[in-house]
Amino acid sequence: MWYHFDTMPAIHIRDLSQATLERLRARARRNGRSLQAELKNILEEAANTDWSGTRALAAKLRRSLARRTHSDSAELIASDRRTR
């Protein structure tokens, strides 16, 4: 008799810093998930996200803004604060 059990692949991550692990645990708590469920969600979202359109738009914006001169935003903010 032949039995076949479908198992999901497992991933083992080595040398993750304690600080990173704590941030991931905190994120999981905020989202009401276990650490494993949070990590699975992060990986699935990353794998399913197509950034090609976003990258093309960012490149287009960089090209269009490269020809312009920009004012110092710190000066603008300071000026706005003085008028209040």
Along the 84 residues of the chain, how does pLDDT read in single tens digits?
Answer: 566 667 778 889 999 999 999 999 999 999 999 999 999 999 999 999 888 899 899 999 999 888 888 788 888 898 889 987
- Phi and psi, residue 13, nearest 5°: -110, 125
Which residues fall within 8 angstroms of residue 38, CB to CB, at 6 or more apart? 24, 27, 28, 31
Sorted by where each begins, the domain ranges of the chain are 18-82
Q: How far, in Å, CA of 62 to CA of 60, rounded?
A: 5
- What is the pTM assigned to this prediction? 0.58
In 22-55, which positions are buried (b, 16+ CB within 10 angstroms) versus exposed (e)? eeeeeebeeeeeeeeebbeeeeeeeeeeeeeeee
